[in-house]
Structure 1
Amino acid sequence: MNLRFVEAFYWVATLKSVTRAAEKLFLTQSAMSSRIATLEEELGVLLLDRRDKQFRLTVAGMRFLVYAQRLLELQREIKSEMGSDVSRAVSMRIGAIESVLHSWLIPWIERLRVDFPELELELSVDTSPILADQVSRGTQDLVFAAVAASGEDVRNAALQPMKMGFIGHKRMDRKRRYTLPEIAQREILTFQRGSQPHVMLLELFRQSGEEPGRIHTVSSVSAMIQLVQGGLGIATLPLQAVQRLNGYEELKVLACDVALVPLPIHASYRTDPTSRIVEMVLSSAIAFVDGPEGLKGKR
Structure 2
Amino acid sequence: MEFKQLEAFVQISKLQSFSKASEALFLTQPALSSQINALEKEIGTQLFIRSTKKVFPTKAGINFYGYAQKMLALRDQSLCEMGNYSKECAGEINILASSVPSQYMLPQLIADFNKEYPNIIFRLYQKDSGGVFEELIQYQYDIGFVGTETESYRYKLSSLCKDQLVLILPKDMEYTGKQSAEEASRFITDKSFIMREQGSGTREALKGFLSKNGILEKDLRVIAYFSSTQGIMEAVSQGLGISFVSRVAAKVYENMNRINIVEIESEQLNRDIFYVQKKDMILTPAQELFVGYAKKCYQNVKS
Fold conserved between structures, TM > 0.5: yes
Amino acid at match of 1:128: S
Offset of 1:112 from its aligned partner?
0.6
Offset of 1:161 from its aligned partner?
3.2
Amino acid at match of 1:190: M
Give the Cα–Cα distance (whole angstroms) in 2 for the partners of residues 128 and 72 of structure 1. 29
Counterpart in the other structure of 1:15: none
Instruction: Please state if 1:5 is matched with 2:18.
Output: no
Residues 5, 263 of structure 1: CA spacing in aligned structure 2 closer, same or farther, 3 A cutoff? Answer: same
Residues 72, 220 of structure 1: CA spacing in aligned structure 2 closer, same or farther, 3 A cutoff? Answer: closer
Amino acid at match of 1:46: G
Instruction: Please state if 1:288 is matched with 2:293.
Output: no
Offset of 1:129 from its aligned partner?
3.2
Task: Map residues 146-225 of structure 1 onto 2, 5 A cutoff.
Answer: 146-147=147-148, 155-177=156-178, 179=183, 180-210=185-215, 212-215=219-222, 216-225=224-233
Task: Map residues 28-177 of structure 1 onto 2, 5 A cutoff.
Answer: 34-41=34-41, 43=42, 46-48=44-46, 55-57=58-60, 72=72, 75-83=75-83, 87=88, 89-147=90-148, 155-177=156-178
* More off after superposition, 134-143 vs 196-205: 196-205
Residues 151, 76 of structure 1: CA spacing in aligned structure 2 closer, same or farther, 3 A cutoff? Answer: farther
Counterpart in the other structure of 1:226: 234
From 27, 31, 34, the equivalent of 2:21 is: 27
* More off after superposition, 276-285 vs 252-261: 252-261
CA-to-partner distance for each residue in 1:127-169, whole Å, 9 max, x for gaps? 2233334421121222212356898975433322311111113
TM-score (norm 1): 0.74
* More off after superposition, 237-246 vs 202-211: 202-211
SS at structure 2 position matched to 1:120: strand
Structure 1 residues not aligned, in runs of 5+: 13-17
Give the Cα–Cα distance (whole angstroms) in 1 for the partners of residues 39 and 115 of structure 2. 39
Give the Cα–Cα distance (whole angstroms) in 2 for the partners of residues 210 and 70 of structure 1. 48
| Count of residue pairs the alignment pairs up | 281
Offset of 1:267 from its aligned partner?
2.0
SS at structure 2 position matched to 1:217: strand
Contact 1:99 1:241 in 2 (8 A): yes
CA-to-partner distance for each residue in 1:68-100, whole Å, 9 max, x for gaps? 677545533442244499525322223333212
Amino acid at match of 1:291: N
Contact 2:90 2:119 in 1 (8 A): yes
Counterpart in the other structure of 2:272: 264
Offset of 1:223 from its aligned partner?
1.7
Counterpart in the other structure of 1:279: 288
Contact 1:197 1:261 in 2 (8 A): no
Aligned-residue identity in percent: 18
Residues 137, 246 of structure 1: CA spacing in aligned structure 2 closer, same or farther, 3 A cutoff? Answer: same
SS at structure 1 position matched to 2:227: coil
Give the Cα–Cα distance (whole angstroms) in 1 for the partners of residues 79 and 251 of structure 2. 44
Offset of 1:285 from its aligned partner?
1.2
SS at structure 2 position matched to 1:137: coil
Residues 210, 81 of structure 1: CA spacing in aligned structure 2 closer, same or farther, 3 A cutoff? Answer: closer
SS at structure 1 position matched to 2:269: coil
Give the Cα–Cα distance (whole angstroms) in 2 for the partners of residues 203 and 79 of structure 1. 47
Contact 1:198 1:217 in 2 (8 A): no
CA-to-partner distance for each residue in 1:99-141, whole Å, 9 max, x for gaps? 1244322321221111212112223333223333442112122
Give the Cα–Cα distance (whole angstroms) in 2 for the partners of residues 110 and 119 of structure 1. 11
SS at structure 1 position matched to 2:60: coil
Over aligned residues, Cα RMSD in angstroms? 4.0
Residues 156, 30 of structure 1: CA spacing in aligned structure 2 closer, same or farther, 3 A cutoff? Answer: farther
SS at structure 1 position matched to 2:100: helix
Contact 2:93 2:123 in 1 (8 A): yes
